[in-house]
Amino acid sequence: VERVTVDCPICGATSDETFRELDGYRVARCKSCGFLFVNPRPTPEGLSELYRDRETNKFFSEGYEPPELEAPVLAKVFDTIQRYVRSGAMLEIGCGRGDLLALAGSRGFQPTGVDFFDGKPPATPGVRFFDGPLAAAKFPNASFDVVVIRNVLEHLFDPRQEVAEAFRLLKPGGALYAKVPNAMAGEGPFYRRFVAPRYPFAPPYHLSHFSPESMRRLLTNAGFQFVRWSVEQPTIVRSARKNLVRQAAYRVLNLLNTLSGGRFPQITIACIVKKP
Ligand SMILES: [Zn+2]
């Protein structure tokens, strides 16, 4: 697979150093802002191929996280969104099956979803789908009241471009809800030992490794006004015992985060920002 070298996806600096080698890829650290990103990396075309291929794309939504297990998490995400935007047109970038969009529809929103569907978009009633990259959809300026992008930015060749497009598509006063894994939690000794030693460094799927600082910078540099951090509950799993452990661990980690004034990292980074 062809690979290209890029500038820092957050600050645009051209100078980086090797942070670590993983699965034949180099994770670089920007010498200017400290951002961690895969460099060199597959081309945008190479990445599109990768995501279109149902055989190798482990993030393909069918069977990834069943709807009934995802529903309680999505309901809470949507409650958070509705505190800032009561109704209107909603766009989800990387919508998968469209579970969150279906929920949005049931609460009176007009939902639109964008993802790679390989020509077979889901048959979710009331939801408009676009098959392909967001830039190709060419939606008009200021056509949405809320944009959601969860577990997507870390996969993209150019997250700045995607955030700029989300900004263009939002109406003034509209909100963006964004979520990414927290590389600072994934790199922490506790997390690596007890939770998932390799997560979230999974090249070439994860190309950008965000910290709360770099995430905030990415969004505010695009013109967004930071509103607040949010916390997402982990997806419910089938095993009752495993579930108890996961949900209890989530509460403990949450409490530690609160007690340490944010110094103890969240596993994921979720936030709400607004277009002024
Ligand atoms: Zn940088």
Q: With 60 as the cut, is the pLDDT of residue 200 above it? A: no
Q: If you measure from the C-alpha of residue 7 to the centroid of ligand 1, how many angstroms do you get, rounded to a whole number?
A: 8
Q: If you measure from the C-alpha of residue 122 to the centroid of ligand 1, how many angstroms do you get, rounded to a whole number?
A: 38
Q: If you measure from the C-alpha of residue 214 to the centroid of ligand 1, how many angstroms do you get, rounded to a whole number?
A: 9
The pLDDT of residue 226: 96
The pLDDT of residue 91: 98
- 257/152: higher pLDDT: 152
Mean pLDDT of 37-57: 82
Mean pLDDT of 130-141: 95
Q: If you measure from the C-alpha of residue 36 to the centroid of ligand 1, how many angstroms do you get, rounded to a whole number?
A: 8
Q: With 80 as the cut, is the pLDDT of residue 32 above it? A: yes
Q: If you measure from the C-alpha of residue 272 to the centroid of ligand 1, how many angstroms do you get, rounded to a whole number?
A: 23
Q: If you measure from the C-alpha of residue 261 to the centroid of ligand 1, how many angstroms do you get, rounded to a whole number?
A: 26
- The CB-based long-range contact list for 39-43 (8 Å cut-off, 24+ gap) reads 39/5, 39/6, 40/3, 40/4, 40/5, 40/6, 41/3, 41/4, 41/6, 41/157, 41/203, 41/204, 41/207, 42/1, 42/2, 42/3, 42/4, 42/204, 43/2, 43/3, 43/4, 43/157
